[in-house]
Structure 1
Amino acid sequence: MSISHFTALIWLAFLVVVALIALGYVLVQRGRHKHMLRFSNMELLEKVAPSRPSPLRHVPIALMLVGLVLLTIAAAGPTSVQKVPRNRATVMLVMDVSLSMEATDVAPSRIQVAKKAGKEFVDGLPTGLNIGFVTFAGTASVMVSPTTNHESVKAAIDNVKLAERTATGEGILTALQAIETLASVLGGGQEPPPARIVLMSDGKQTVPSFDDVDNPRHEFVAARLAKTKNVPISTISFGTSWGSVEIPREDGSSEKVPVAVDDDAMRELARLSGGDFYTAASAQELTKVYDTLEEQIGFELTRGDASRPWLLLGMLLVAAGIVTGLLYRQRLP
């Protein structure tokens, strides 16, 4: 039972009344003791009064006083910071499925780890939150439109296929379009539901050329557009700097091609969109990143009423004091 604030602080003044009751009880007990000592017939006193009264006789009043303290705290309206699911938000999971995801620098392979962690990420989000799934290689595709059916998203993650090239900008633009479509369908609000893109990639954009920064399909242009639409992008740079893949040649041989991650591009994407940048060079790191995103995206911290536990415990203690008094002394304290 935690407390961070009271909504009716004045009720705590009743603690003074509780303290006075406790003081009054102590004074009454002392008065009884003095009255017994003034008894003139000591032989009769020893017969009618025990020499050492049991301290258990104070248990009923102690329980009721503690119960009153807890009820007073409940009356003061305690509040606490609580984690509340965001059931109105939309999350678009955008995954790079270019051939570089076959690299085995992250065992057993980048794509296998990405699929497993992606499904765990979906599982950790509130059931009422809309989740969509977009994949991109040379082009981008909406595998699942934003939906509360999280199982369909997990099934789509299981069935991703790798392809050539990397069109990161296309992936972002496709996700933004899916978010806008859902917002237009939902309607009913002055503002669209809050949305976030979670983009995981292991390499630099190749379509269009990374140097063609004025192309409307460029990833940086798409990130700036996301910023204007108030859709931050959380980017995850996944893989290592020494990753490589085997590319088959026409003569039947293969060529080892390095596929190092591009942290700089992913960091800039996040900055331009107003989002956050993360790196993950292993399965454990990727899972940790997704766990962090679950807390940021799926839940919000709000101040809520916390009086119920104090109220219930206070009632139980007062009731216990009354019952103890009746059982032990056949009367109330």
Structure 2
Amino acid sequence: MTDAVSRLPVFSFLWPGMLWLFALVLILATGYVWLDRRRRRAPVHYPALKTAGLAIQGGAPWRRHVAPALTLLALSALTVAIARPQAVMMLPSRIETLILVLDLSGSMRAQDVKPNRLRAAQQAAKVLLDAQPAAVSVGVVAVAGTAAVAQAPSRAREAVATAIDRLQPQGGTALGNGLLIALTTLLPQAGADAERLMNDDMPPPRKSRPSGNAPGGLASPDDDAVAPGSYASGAIVLFSDGESNAGPAAIQAAELAAAHGVRIYTVGVGTTEGVVLSADGWSARVRLDEKVLKQVAEATGAEYFRLEDAAELKKVYRALNARLAFDKRSQVEITALFAALGALLAACAGLLSLWWFGRVM
């Protein structure tokens, strides 16, 4: 969840001042209790009325309270409706483009995830690819010592799957460059900032959400500022063990993506214990660096997932696919819901009263 959305109240009102009408509901409830007590005292002075009252109630004194109680609940629901309630709800994100970023570094040959980290990542990427609606375009970015687009965004699933299968381990890891390439593939207008970050290895000026702290209550930052995670038309998914040794830092690329509202979901492939990997005359223990991947996801308003073994594949896929399909949170007015509830309760009160007593209330 993005910081902006997390600050939204779960339930609020557009016209909170109208909630004073609850005082009228309380007065009506108090009046009903007073009248009911007065009615119950009457048979003490006039015993004949008690017999007549039981006959009218059909031997069930509690029935006379049902219709008034439903009426009071109906008035309460209608009062809430008058105040125009709104709630934060999860809505379909309507993703149009998804960019898959796969880490091809030498450490991805480690076999702490079978058959190895890269193959596990490729399998997860293809499962996610198959789950996307036909209207979603999917692209692939390969990351090693440098980064490049292995497949431009396309709706041809076979072409994208073939591009994923062709990827082979290489030397070096430039996660930051890979994320920047993915960002510019998704949003070409971010190209200038991404190029400066890749060339200068310095973070570009970040756009921030206007805070309203400027004199006179006006926002002073850029007018085109967006909240992290607010770009609903596309997303990036990174499959990596988190290790990087070239180019700008992954968190810098994540901050630029966040400035454009783009979410970067990260899937950690490997184990935190790691394994000793030997290749080309050297040996080293390669571990899953969850810290970097979590930072990238958090900075962009996305989420981190961990793929430790083949058994986790379906679990990760289901959770990730659910986030991609329904990860747009927004405040939605739900006045109609309370208005309908009030009308239904009022109708039930009238029908029950007519059925039991032959009159409406």
Instruction: Provide TM-score, normalisation by structure 2.
Output: 0.62
> In the alignment, does 2:23 pair up with 1:16?
yes
Correspondences of 1:281-300 after superposition (within 5 Å): 282-283=308-309, 291=319, 295=323, 299-300=327-328
> In the alignment, does 2:165 pair up with 1:159?
yes
Question: 1:141-177: CA deviations, max 9, x gaps?
Answer: 4344346x49569735763432433453663453244
Seen in structure 2, the aligned counterparts of structure 1 residues 259 and 96 have a Cα distance that, compared at 3 Å, is farther
Question: Which residue identity is paired with 1:9?
Answer: P
> In the alignment, does 2:306 pair up with 1:267?
no
Question: Which residue identity is paired with 1:165?
Answer: G
CA distance in 1, matches of 2:186, 2:34: 71
Question: 1:231-285: CA deviations, max 9, x gaps?
Answer: 67666553243153678xxxxxxx8965624749x839967xx669969571378
Structure 2 unaligned blocks of 5 or more: 1-8, 192-223
> In the alignment, does 2:207 pair up with 1:201?
no
Shift in Å, 1:327: 0.4
CA distance in 2, matches of 1:277, 1:176: 17
> In the alignment, does 2:275 pair up with 1:242?
yes
Which of 313, 316, 331 is matched with 1:303 structurally? 331
Correspondences of 1:47-86 after superposition (within 5 Å): 48-50=52-54, 54-86=61-93
SS of alignment partner, residue 248 of structure 2:
helix
Question: 1:50-85: CA deviations, max 9, x gaps?
Answer: 387622122111111111112212222222222234
Aligned length: 304
More displaced stretch, 319-328 vs 30-39: 30-39
SS of alignment partner, residue 328 of structure 1:
helix
CA distance in 2, matches of 1:124, 1:158: 15
CA distance in 1, matches of 2:293, 2:360: 73
> In the alignment, does 2:319 pair up with 1:312?
no
CA distance in 2, matches of 1:94, 1:167: 12
SS of alignment partner, residue 286 of structure 2:
coil
Seen in structure 2, the aligned counterparts of structure 1 residues 133 and 66 have a Cα distance that, compared at 3 Å, is same
Question: Which residue identity is paired with 1:244?
Answer: L
SS of alignment partner, residue 79 of structure 2:
helix
Partner of 1:324: 352
Seen in structure 2, the aligned counterparts of structure 1 residues 151 and 289 have a Cα distance that, compared at 3 Å, is closer
Shift in Å, 1:122: 5.7
- Contact 1:103 1:245 (8 Å CA) reproduced: no
Identical columns (%): 26
Correspondences of 1:109-148 after superposition (within 5 Å): 109-119=116-126, 131-137=138-144, 140-146=147-153
Question: Which residue identity is paired with 2:165?
Answer: N
Shift in Å, 1:130: 6.1
More displaced stretch, 60-69 vs 295-304: 295-304
Shift in Å, 1:293: 10
Which of 71, 89, 100 is matched with 1:93 structurally? 100
- Contact 2:151 2:163 (8 Å CA) reproduced: no
More displaced stretch, 287-296 vs 27-36: 287-296
Structure 1 unaligned blocks of 5 or more: 185-189, 211-217, 248-254
CA distance in 1, matches of 2:15, 2:294: 47
Question: 1:109-133: CA deviations, max 9, x gaps?
Answer: 2133213433565678899876532
Shift in Å, 1:34: 4.4
- Root mean square deviation of aligned Cα: 4.9
SS of alignment partner, residue 324 of structure 1:
helix
Question: Which residue identity is paired with 2:342?
Answer: G
Partner of 2:247: 219
> In the alignment, does 2:178 pair up with 1:168?
no
